[in-house]
Amino acid sequence: MAINLRPTIAEVRLSAVRKNLQKLKKTAAPARVLFVVKANAYGHGAAALARLAEREGLAWGFGVSSVEEGLALRAGGIISPVLVLGSLYPFESFVEAINADLMVTIASLDAARQVIEAARRLGKKAVCHIKLETGMGRIGARKPSVLKIYDELSASGAVAVAGMYTHFSSADTDPRYTAQQLGFFSETAAALRERGAKNLTLHAANSAAAVTVPESRLDMVRCGIAAYGLADGFEPALALKTRVVFIKNVREGAFISYNKSFCADRPLKIATLPVGYADGYLRRFSNRADVLIGGLRCRVLGNVTMDMTMVDVTAVKDAAVGSEAVLLGRQGREEVTAQELAALADTITYEVVTLISGRVPRVYLE
């Protein structure tokens, strides 16, 4: 069992995840919810949250990016459906996926032929969802290729086509483009029905579309960011916390951190925190972000370093070694949000939480 002595942790409130999934499930009904837990559940811990959702019936199944992520869920005891959303390569990945009862994404004729070969080699039927490209420009086949893929898979007898899906590019910013993508999807779904396709699970909506575009919910919605509380109207689940490990007083003119990146303009009290960019606390937060100590906002001073960050605690009367520091989350009446940190780093909330590294223990609170 790993020993964790360093006080830097990511706290995940299971009650918030539960509440968010319940809200998504109610909003999407009768469509099912595929809980997207790729990238270690956006940094929140995939195995623990998948077990919560499976145990309490909060999701129909789970979406992952890779076969490895799916295998990790199976190793963690998850028995619900798991859909690998990424394009599989090398094609030997299909063998591992089929063995573990993972549903795979098929986005090309080559992939269709490889999954057929893998299923026949194993003597076990594969289950897949076909990915339609409607405007994301990432992976997926256009309508003519989708029809050919469906025909080849259906004729093989070795692969069950369980669904078809697409991915919205701009569901939170461009309703017209989203409607256009949904129109392309509906046309292809109709063409598949004309070919005799029955009981396909059709899905297109991500969190934004599931909440704001009712017509996109179809048979299933794929929700990630809202489940973690990082979309409007949902409750954030994750907090990044540590404790002060060193306190010092500096004179006017003293330099702080690498490259003399901060110079004190008056006498200051400085706290050192055992967290840095190796933990996912971005260097872009240098001299810009606030940390909560003693219920007050304390500015980061100088460059964030690999393992440590310095902050100004001059105004915190009782600041001492051992004082709690909240880098993301709430303390007293103050809160540092993922949205705030994302704006400082000119990025998105997804990146803020998924970059919290594996050396930061996840602690789960009810």
Three-state SS for 199-259 is CCEEEEECHHHHHHCHHHCCCEEEECCCCCCCCCCCCCCEEEEEECCEEEEECCCCEECHH
The dihedral sign for the CA sequence 41, 46, 50, 53: negative
pLDDT value at position 1? 61
Q: Which residues pair with 223 in a beta bridge?
A: 35
pLDDT value at position 330? 97
Task: Please calculate the CA angle 362-300-333 and round it to the nearest 5 degrees.
Answer: 65
Task: Answer whether 13-223 and 238-336 agree in fold.
Answer: no
Give the start-to-end residue ranges of the domains of the chain.
Answer: 13-223, 238-336
Q: Are 243 and 272 in contact, with CB atoms under 8 Å apart?
A: no
pLDDT value at position 2? 72
pLDDT value at position 324? 98
Residue 38 known to be catalytic:
yes
Q: Are 129 and 61 in contact, with CB atoms under 8 Å apart?
A: no
Q: Which residues pair with 262 in a beta bridge?
A: 256
Architecture of the domain spanning 238-336: Beta Barrel (2.40)
Catalytic residue among 38, 42, 228, 241: 38
Token duo for residue 236: 């954030």
Residue 258 known to be catalytic:
yes
Q: Tokens 């899905």 sit at which residue?
A: 203
How many angstroms separate the Cα of 241 from the Cα of each of 80, 264, 295? 32, 26, 13
**Given this structure, which CATH class describes domain 13-223?**
alpha beta
pLDDT value at position 4? 83
Q: Are 317 and 298 in contact, with CB atoms under 8 Å apart?
A: no
Catalytic residue among 124, 148, 248, 258: 258
pTM of full prediction above 0.75: yes
Other CB atoms within a 10 A radius of the CB of residue 284 amount to: 15
Q: Which of 48, 82, 78 is nearest to 64 (CA)?
A: 82
Task: Please tell me the distance from the alpha carbon of residue 359 to that of residue 333, in angstroms, as a whole number.
Answer: 29
CA 215 to mean position of chain CA atoms: 24
Mean pLDDT by 10 residues, the chain (366 residues): 87 98 98 98 98 98 98 98 94 94 97 97 97 97 98 97 98 97 98 95 98 98 98 97 98 98 98 98 98 98 98 97 98 98 98 97 96
pLDDT value at position 92? 86
Buried b (16+ CB within 10 A) or exposed e, 196-226: ebeebbbbbbbbbbbbbbeebbbbbbbbbbb
